[in-house]
Amino acid sequence: MLGLSASVGQGANSMILGYKKNLPGTDAYWFGDVGDEQKQFIRVCCGLALPQFDKSNGGLVVIAEELRPSGFQDFTAVGGTIGDWPTIENALIQYRMDLKFSHIITEKTQGRQLIWRMPKLNYGTGEIPLVTYEAPAYAFEELGRQKVEGMIAQDRLHLEEVRADLEEETETAGKALQAVVCWMLGNKAIYASNVKKREPLRAVWGLQGL
């Protein structure tokens, strides 16, 4: 599934990302070494597929979006895990500390409710907020799979850092990947440089002083 050919429980991804807070008129960003190249990212999001049964595995994948105020979105997987719930829970906490993701995208609302009951995920929220969203329904249909496959084919989704881990269970990994990628495609990052400064409505209509 998805041509997957990286797991905290099965061999942790050792990548660490730093975080630079924004100054007025600038964007906050993440930074770190990916392979032999240092990159900057506008946001880091985690896709989560929970285990469906007591003895089944869940999966998560952390996607960083390259800092690129203009041009197409470009995603790099910087962490991935397949395992039972204790493994997934530990991975979420570890990746929050190491990769500092700010969004968790779940399959269903129940997943968000479970995340809210994990106090250890509050690490660093004073500096980097953490929010949760439910993935769009189409993410788990053929359209969602095609969108992810299209990003890979266009060399805009890079999975090299996590392939080995995610191949352990491609169906579960695919759900986590489709959840986060489809959400990020549908909810684009907002850059400070692209926010248009609009005059107040009164000035536009020549109504100053009214």
Could you read off the pLDDT of 26-55 as tens digits, one per residue?
899 999 999 889 999 999 999 999 988 777
d(CA 62, CA 103): 10
User: Residue 157's beta-bridge partner residues?
Assistant: 75
3-state DSSP assignment of residue 22 = coil
Using DSSP, state whether 66 is helix, strand or coil.
strand
Please report where in the chains the tokens 């269903």 appear, as a residue: 108
Q: Which amino acid is at 50?
A: L
CB 14 within 8 A of CB 75: no
**pLDDT tens digit sequence for 140-198:** 999 999 999 999 999 999 999 898 888 878 899 999 999 999 999 999 999 987 775 43
Phi, psi torsion values for 43, nearest 5 degrees: -160, 160
- The terminus-to-terminus CA distance of the chain in angstroms comes to 62
Handedness of CA 122, 77, 91, 172 (dihedral sign): positive
Cβ contacts of residue 128 below 8 Å, gap of 6+? Answer: 19, 100, 102
Tell me the whole-structure pTM to 2 decimals.
0.85
Place of tokens 């910087």: 78
Give all domains of the chain, ordered by start, each with its CATH number.
8-204 (3.30.420)
Judge contact between 76 and 66, C-beta under 8 A. yes
User: Left, alpha or beta for 180 (phi > 0: left; psi -120 to 50: alpha)?
Assistant: alpha
| 124: amino acid identity, one letter | G
How deeply is 164 buried, as exposed, middle or buried, from its count of CB atoms within 10 A (0-12, 13-18, 19+)? middle
pLDDT in tens, 73-116: 999 999 999 999 999 999 999 999 999 999 999 988 878 888 88
